[in-house]
Structure 1
Amino acid sequence: MPQIQLTDTQAVVLSAACARDDGAVFPVTTKLKGGAVGNVCKSLLRLGLIEEIPASDLNTVWRHDEERGPITLRTTPLAQTTLGITEPEATTTPAEVATAPVLRRKGTKQDALIEMLRAPGGATIAEIAAALEWEAHTVRGAMAGPLKKKLGLEVTSEKVEGRGRVYALK
């Protein structure tokens, strides 16, 4: 099974959560400034080491979801395996670890970008920039960074006469 590399901060947050009976991430015991807690939690979510669950204690809310209400975070069995607390399950394959679920919130600009690229005929940079109220360089950066690198989506482009370069998701 491939080893998941954690930063020191990720390891501290994850270790503290695994030490709790319920595996709750909050309250975070380490002192982090600014949006560092959010960044650490997002990266742990992407790796599948923590998961979102309904929050019963309002002091531990991670975010609010329109459908599910207050959401908090707890560790997954993969977190304990990664930290060496438990042995890996025989049913967990390296492919399952590598394809940890990527969370995508509905109603965000990133979600709107993905929908525009999935639409029949795709979308041009100018169309996306106008719809999202972004600059052209922001659109290109969003396609190259979050879509390709983080979400693993394949963005294609082709020149269409009378329309210019059109981008779409495969």
Structure 2
Amino acid sequence: MTKLSETQTAVLIASAQRPGGIALPLPNGLAGAAAKMAVSRMIERRWLQEVEANVRRADPLWRETGDGHGTTLVVTDEGLLAIGFDPVVVKTVVVIRKHAAEAAGPKTPIQRAGTKQAHVTALMQRPEGATIAEIVVATGWQAHSTRGMISGTLKKKLGLSISVTKVRGRGSVYRIV
């Protein structure tokens, strides 16, 4: 087995545990010239490889290439073998973790009882619904905060269907459908 420094071992082990084998971020305390030297040696030994960073996935950047793109570092099969990991096993574990995370799906937010948010929801579930002014009085919030909570929390985060109707003498009335 190849003789590795503590830094090289730490970088490679961390990379093996990350999706896609990404080596960044580097361990605490490894920055500047020391980081550049350590990474350069690992690239020379083919333990790490510079690849184009995927902007959509928000890959961390190792360096910018000057054309609006950047590169990131990934561990290679040789790097995995250097720390005693079987590349096939590592890639299989990564795929299994990815599928398990996708199968679990996103967590659905739960509304807690006794909160102002629950009170607003109860007001809007009444047959007569609730106006912004009524919600402001009930919660003590500002009107803009109330509208933000309705559109951000109730609609987007909790996925509730909310209807708004104009009622003469009352104004806009919000109801949870």
Q: Same fold (TM over 0.5)?
A: no
Please tell me whether Structure 1 or Structure 2 has the larger radius of gyration of its CA atoms. 2
What's the TM-score, normalizing by structure 1? 0.44
What's the TM-score, normalizing by structure 2? 0.43
